[in-house]
Chains A and B, each alone.
Chain A
């Protein structure tokens, strides 16, 4: 597989503090990369750097024109409750505005019905809201998706989690996904590769089973972590 993204000797400093140090990795087209790490390890910073929001030193090389879909950590339902937006209004904030058939198609893909369009975003259930956000991200046909900790482990209905939904879409739409999380269980289940970060500058990169030994996990998370392997 040809690499979609090449990162070499990446350094990111914010307010004089080294957040990311000498990081190098490659991501191929169609990969499901999980970025793993404890709080404050720089996961969100890395994601926002890859998206072009933050200044950096080193090389970030996208092989094709990046058309990104992004779900930031802070985009919560609580935040959106301040806005008198229906689901349809929320989709209309996209640039360009997608047509109704397109929106409906992606709502179906994430398991939502068309009649949700008229509902106020603040009045959706937690699961509907998560699904709606995924559809909102997909509707502009991105080739790379960036998800920053979609609510961990939330049951979005029908026995599904946001991760199994993401994986289903990943397989169907042949996307490349960057997922930030500190939820270990999903790493084994879904990702093709793992990139781990921690505050002390320890990094690892590779397939989950190859690199995630108990010792390594302890390095990332400290001694508290229990080691589970999922099949």
Chain B
């Protein structure tokens, strides 16, 4: 029982931290909402896993990653905003799934199941989080410049196509991890909220990144303990903690205009 709590805490901390970090990039690209539709792509995967009786996460990852690659390919071709494309991919994935799959059974994917995470799953979460953290760290400055003004990034010799792909794959992995933690319905909160709170209280890039990671981690720890104490579902409690921290950050908002 105690081991279970430790596994949940450790994997939650890693997911919350990396989601917060990634969120800072997504906020500045004005696409933090993209995580939502991507996370919903987990549902068909979960439903398939239920039908054929394999591990749920094996269903989630392929769907979300294929979704990210499709967004990338379509963006290259159509130059439509990624946000818009995410909505299309999400609608086609979930729509098709609703036609054929018992998606109502995929309840677990709705609010997450971090409280049941196993040792091996925890190990995988840690490894994936570390890889994604490293990748984001490597592409951070370049992505930021692309977000500021894409032409300038080209002049600085940045391979836009490659970085967009790495970026979307990072989002896909973080989203899939987020589905574990809080479920597909509210995964976007893990990415969008800490970054927003961090932006409220920071005045430079460094503090922005650090605050987003710290707030992401705190909300996971708080969420897990509060949910345990009051016998409430963990995933939603993590998201509510995040929102509470956001409201506090609004009070301490740095003055800028």
A-to-B contact residues, CB < 8 Å = 48, 51, 53, 68-70, 72, 74-75, 79-86, 88-89, 92-95, 97, 118, 120, 122-123, 140
Query: How far, in whole Å, are A193 and B208 apart by their CA atoms in the complex?
Result: 46
* Closest A residue to B208 using CB positions: A84
Most buried by A among B28, B154, B203: B203
Chain A residues contacting B199 (CB-CB under 8 Å) are: 84
Question: By the criterion CB–CB under 8 Å, are A95 and B157 in contact?
Answer: yes
Chain B residues contacting A93 (CB-CB under 8 Å) are: 141-142, 144-145, 148, 156
With A75-B149, A94-B156, A95-B141 as contacts: A122 and B204 at CB distance below 8 Å: no
Question: By the criterion CB–CB under 8 Å, are A53 and B151 in contact?
Answer: yes
Most buried by A among B145, B147, B155: B155
Least distance between A218 CB and chain B CB atoms (Å): 33
Question: By the criterion CB–CB under 8 Å, are A83 and B147 in contact?
Answer: yes
A selection of 16 A-B contacts at a CB cut-off of 8 Å is A51-B151, A68-B155, A72-B149, A72-B152, A75-B152, A80-B148, A83-B147, A85-B144, A86-B203, A92-B205, A94-B145, A94-B156, A97-B141, A120-B204, A120-B256, A123-B257
* Closest A residue to B195 using CB positions: A84
- DSSP class of B's interface residues: helix, strand, loop or mixed? helix
Query: How far, in whole Å, are A95 and B138 apart by their CA atoms in the complex?
Result: 12
Chain A residues contacting B152 (CB-CB under 8 Å) are: 70, 72, 75
Query: How far, in whole Å, are A122 and B205 apart by their CA atoms in the complex?
Result: 13
Chain B residues contacting A84 (CB-CB under 8 Å) are: 199, 202-205, 207-208
Chain B residues contacting A74 (CB-CB under 8 Å) are: 149
Contact of B156 among A83, A85, A95 (CB under 8 A): A95
Q: Number of residues in B with C-beta < 8 Å to the partner?
A: 26
Chain A residues contacting B166 (CB-CB under 8 Å) are: none
Contact of B144 among A48, A75, A83, A122 (CB under 8 A): A83
Chain A residues contacting B207 (CB-CB under 8 Å) are: 84
Question: By the criterion CB–CB under 8 Å, are B141 and A92 in contact?
Answer: yes
Least distance between B188 CB and chain A CB atoms (Å): 19
Least distance between A221 CB and chain B CB atoms (Å): 27
Q: Is B158 an interface residue (CB 8 A)?
A: yes
* Closest B residue to A89 using CB positions: B205
Question: By the criterion CB–CB under 8 Å, are A81 and B144 in contact?
Answer: no
Question: By the criterion CB–CB under 8 Å, are A48 and B151 in contact?
Answer: yes
Least distance between B23 CB and chain A CB atoms (Å): 13
Query: How far, in whole Å, are A69 and B151 apart by their CA atoms in the complex?
Result: 11
Query: How far, in whole Å, are A51 and B152 apart by their CA atoms in the complex?
Result: 11
Least distance between B21 CB and chain A CB atoms (Å): 14
* Closest A residue to B155 using CB positions: A70
With A83-B147, A97-B141, A122-B256 as contacts: A53 and B205 at CB distance below 8 Å: no
* Closest A residue to B205 using CB positions: A89
* Closest B residue to A142 using CB positions: B155
Query: How far, in whole Å, are A12 and B189 apart by their CA atoms in the complex?
Result: 45
